[in-house]
Each structure stands twice: as structure tokens, then as C-alpha cells.
Amino acid sequence: MNSKEPDSAHNPYRPLGRGMALVASLLLLGLLYFYFENGLQARNNPNQQLQIAQGSELVLKRSRNGHYFFPGTINGQPVTFLLDTGATLVSVPAHLAEELGLKAGARQQSVTANGTVTTRATRVNALAFGPFDLRGVPASLNPGMGGDQVLLGMSVLKHLEFTQRGDTLILRAI
């Protein structure tokens, strides 16, 4: 071995090079994660930024799974709504009641896609999304709903006119 060449086994820069390669790899993986995660979220909920058209119209895009998800508020707290024309009332997951300022009232039976469930009646003081703001909306607290999405049922939709064309739904005040 030539005495002027560094011994690669004892090269003081080798651990630094491996560490930098590891950091660069982790950074690249993190960037890829955020890139693809944002793309998936946009496909699963394309209405994160609501499109409000002229004359108090709300334009919604259908999500990848065929539903209409969009942001709104209940009693000033942010929620994600799922438009559900098959639901009689606004149906709120029971575990969100305290956070949203909802009081559990009388027990009632609700027929859902998953069968009959005992829910609690409640009233939403303020419900808002896009250009729409409703007060005193009848709703139910459903203990069988595990997620954080609120079903926007006919107790709200009866106040709106809606038109669907392809993958677009337009809501208008009546």
C-alpha cells in the first residue's frame, strides 16, 4: 500500500458519508410521502377548497369513491360533511357531541345502512358550509359512527336545490 493514500478502512470521512446518505434518503422518502399523500387527499376529498359560484351556489366535485365530501362548521367548529340524501337528519358521530357543543336529547331509533341503531336527538344551533348558514337544524347523535364525518341529511338539504351533472353537484338556496 502506498503510504500517501488513505486507508479506506480508517478513512475518517466514511461514517460522515454514510450518515449523509442516510439523511438524504430519509429526506427523499419524506418528500415523496407528502407529495403522494397530498395527491391522495385531493382525490379523496376534492372539495377541500370550496368553489362558490355567483348567486349563492356551491359547486362540489365527486370524490374518487363517488361521494361528495366538503368542509363546514357546526356551532363554529370545523367538520367534514358527507352529503347523504338517504339520511333524514344531520347525523353526527356521538363522540363529537361535546366538541361540537351538542346536547344529547331523547332516545330515538334510526334506520341506517348498517341496521337500526339507538341515537339521541339533538339540535344544531349553527351549521354552515360554503355560502349557506342554517340555524336550529334537527340532528341526531349516532354512537355507531366511528369516523369524524358528519352526514348532511335532508333536514338541511330540504332547504337547497341540487343539480348533478357528471361528477359535479351544484347546490343553490331555494
Range of the domain at 32: 8-44
pLDDT digits (tens, 9 = 90+) for 118-173: 999 999 999 999 999 999 999 999 999 989 999 999 999 999 999 999 999 999 99
Task: State the pTM of this model.
Answer: 0.72
- One domain for residues 32 and 60: no
**pLDDT for the residue 2:** 54
Q: What is the DSSP string of 27-80?
A: HHHHHHHHHHHHHHHHHH-TTSS-EEETTTEEEEEPPTTS--EEEEEETTEEEE
- Which three cell numbers mark 38? 397530498
Distance CA 74, CA 23 (A): 43
- One domain for residues 13 and 76: no
β-pairing verdict for 90-93 and 132-142: parallel
β-pairing verdict for 168-173 and 57-61: antiparallel
**pLDDT for the residue 65:** 87
- One domain for residues 86 and 123: yes
- One domain for residues 60 and 23: no
Chain centroid offset of residue 107 CA? 28
Domain presence at residue 1: no
Domain presence at residue 3: no
- One domain for residues 73 and 90: yes
CATH of the domain at 77: 2.40.70.10
Domain presence at residue 72: yes
Question: Measured between alpha carbons, how far apart are the two ends of the chain, in Å?
Answer: 89
- One domain for residues 19 and 79: no
Rounded to 5°, the CA angle 108-110-114 comes to: 145
- One domain for residues 13 and 58: no
Distance CA 149, CA 107 (A): 21
**pLDDT for the residue 46:** 75
- pLDDT classification of 52: cutoffs 50, 70, 90: confident
- One domain for residues 78 and 107: yes
- One domain for residues 25 and 56: no
Distance CA 52, CA 79 (A): 18
Domain presence at residue 2: no
pLDDT digits (tens, 9 = 90+) for 4-35: 555 555 666 566 677 667 777 777 666 655 55
- One domain for residues 94 and 28: no
Nearest to 56 by CA among 132, 163, 133, 152: 132
**pLDDT for the residue 14:** 64
- Which three cell numbers mark 116? 337500526
Domain presence at residue 96: yes
pLDDT digits (tens, 9 = 90+) for 69-112: 999 999 999 999 999 999 999 999 999 999 999 999 999 998 88
Distance CA 56, CA 61 (A): 17
Number of domains the chain is built from: 2
- One domain for residues 166 and 87: yes
